[in-house]
C-alpha cells in the first residue's frame, strides 16, 4: 500500500486490480508550541493511509512542499516556504509520472490549506486533465470530506489539527507547551481553541473523513476504469 515499499510485481497487481494512487501534500510549518512542524503532512498522511485501506490502491510518500505558509505571512520560523511555480510544476509532474505508470484515478489529499496553495495544486490538476482525457483526478483538502456533512475541520494548529495529531501520534504533541495564559493566535501561531483538543475529537474527524471520502474515491475509480478505452496508448 505504501508505494515506495512495493516491488514491481506487486505494483503490477495493483495496476491490474485497483489503479488508484494517493498523493499527500503537506508542508513544514509552525503549528503552535505544542505541535510538530510536520503536522500538516503527518496527519494527512495517516488519514490517507486509513482511507487507502478502505478503497485499495497505493499511497505515495508524502510531499513536504508548501506555498503560502506562516513564514511570509507572519515570520514564523521552522517553516519552509516554496514558490508557487515550484509547487505547480512539482504537482503537475507527479501527476504525469503516475499517469505514465498506469494509474487511472489519482487523489491528491492536501494537509496544508493556504488558500493560494490549494489554488495552485488545483491549477496543476486542471492543466493535467486538459491534457489527458481519461484519467480521473480529485484534489481535496483533508477537511473537505467532513464538510460534506457539515462537520467543520481545517484550522491551523487549533482544536481540530491538534486533536488529529493526538489521535495518530500522541507522542508528538506536548500540551504542557501551551502558555499558562492560554494561546494567542498572533503570538503563538495557532488556533487558541487547541486547549480543547482531545484524542476522541481527532478520532471523530478521521472516521468522518473516511466515511465521506471512501465512496467518492471508489466512484471516481470506477468511472475511470469504465471509461478507459481498451486500446489506449499511455501517452493519450
Question: Closest CB to Zn ion among 87 and 95?
Answer: 87
How far is 142 from 109, CA to CA, in rounded Å?
Answer: 6
- Least separation in angstroms between residue 161's CB and Zn ion is 5
Which stretch in 32-40, 56-64, 90-98, 201-209 sits in contact with Zn ion by CB under 5 A?
32-40
CA 200 to chain centre: 21
Which stretch in 2-10, 33-41, 145-153, 189-197 sits in contact with Zn ion by CB under 5 A?
33-41
Element (H, E) at 159: helix 159-168
Question: Closest CB to Zn ion among 40 and 188?
Answer: 40
Asked if 104 contacts 135 with a C-beta cutoff of 8 angstroms, the reply is yes
* Beta bridge pairs of residue 23: 108
- Least separation in angstroms between residue 216's CB and Zn ion is 22
The Cα diameter of the chain in Å comes to 65
Q: Is 40 in the site for Zn ion (CB under 5 A)?
A: yes
For cell 493535467, name the residue.
128
For cell 508524502, name the residue.
62
Asked if 56 contacts 18 with a C-beta cutoff of 8 angstroms, the reply is yes
Which stretch in 36-44, 126-134, 186-194, 220-228 sits in contact with Zn ion by CB under 5 A?
36-44
Q: Nearest-CB residue to Zn ion?
A: 40
- Least separation in angstroms between residue 225's CB and Zn ion is 34
- Least separation in angstroms between residue 39's CB and Zn ion is 6
Which stretch in 4-12, 34-42, 50-58, 85-93 sits in contact with Zn ion by CB under 5 A?
34-42
Q: How far apart are the first and last CA of the chain?
A: 27
Q: Is 155 in the site for Zn ion (CB under 5 A)?
A: no
Q: Is 188 in the site for Zn ion (CB under 5 A)?
A: no
Beta strands 58-59 and 20-26 are: parallel
Question: Closest CB to Zn ion among 19 and 26?
Answer: 26
Question: Closest CB to Zn ion among 27 and 138?
Answer: 27
Q: Is 142 in the site for Zn ion (CB under 5 A)?
A: no
Asked if 102 contacts 62 with a C-beta cutoff of 8 angstroms, the reply is no
Asked if 176 contacts 207 with a C-beta cutoff of 8 angstroms, the reply is no
- Least separation in angstroms between residue 41's CB and Zn ion is 9
- Least separation in angstroms between residue 188's CB and Zn ion is 14
Q: What is the dihedral of CA 50, 62, 93, 115, to 10 degrees?
A: 90
Which stretch in 40-48, 52-60, 92-100, 222-230 sits in contact with Zn ion by CB under 5 A?
40-48
- The residues that touch Zn ion, with contacts defined as CB under 5 A, are 40
Amino acid at each position: 500500500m505504501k508505494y515506495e515499499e512495493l516491488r514491481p510485481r506487486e505494483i503490477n497487481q495493483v495496476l491490474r486490480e485497483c489503479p488508484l494512487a494517493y498523493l499527500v501534500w503537506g508542508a513544514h510549518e509552525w503549528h503552535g508550541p505544542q505541535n510538530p512542524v510536520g503536522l500538516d503532512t503527518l496527519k494527512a498522511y495517516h488519514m490517507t493511509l486509513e482511507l487507502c485501506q478502505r478503497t485499495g490502491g497505493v499511497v505515495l510518500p508524502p510531499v513536504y512542499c508548501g506555498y503560502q505558509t506562516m513564514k511570509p505571512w507572519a515570520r514564523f520560523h521552522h517553516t519552509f516556504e516554496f514558490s508557487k511555480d515550484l509547487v505547480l510544476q512539482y504537482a503537475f509532474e507527479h501527476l504525469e509520472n503516475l499517469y505514465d505508470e498506469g494509474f487511472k484515478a489519482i487523489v491528491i489529499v492536501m494537509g496544508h490549506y493556504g488558500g493560494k496553495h490549494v489554488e495552485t495544486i488545483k491549477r496543476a490538476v486542471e492543466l493535467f486533465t486538459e491534457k489527458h482525457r481519461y484519467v480521473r483526478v480529485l484534489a481535496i483538502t483533508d477537511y473537505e470530506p467532513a464538510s460534506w456533512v457539515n462537520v467543520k475541520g481545517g484550522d491551523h494548529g487549533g482544536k481540530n489539527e491538534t486533536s488529529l495529531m493526538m489521535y495518530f501520534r500522541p507522542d508528538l504533541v506536548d500540551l504542557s507547551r501551551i502558555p499558562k495564559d492560554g494561546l494567542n493566535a498572533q503570538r503563538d501561531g495557532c488556533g487558541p481553541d487547541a486547549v480543547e483538543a482531545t484524542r476522541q475529537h481527532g478520532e471523530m474527524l478521521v472516521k468522518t473523513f473516511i466515511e465521506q471520502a471512501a465512496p467518492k474515491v471508489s466512484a471516481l475509480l470506477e468511472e475511470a476504469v469504465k471509461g478507459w478505452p481498451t486500446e489506449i496508448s499511455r501517452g493519450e
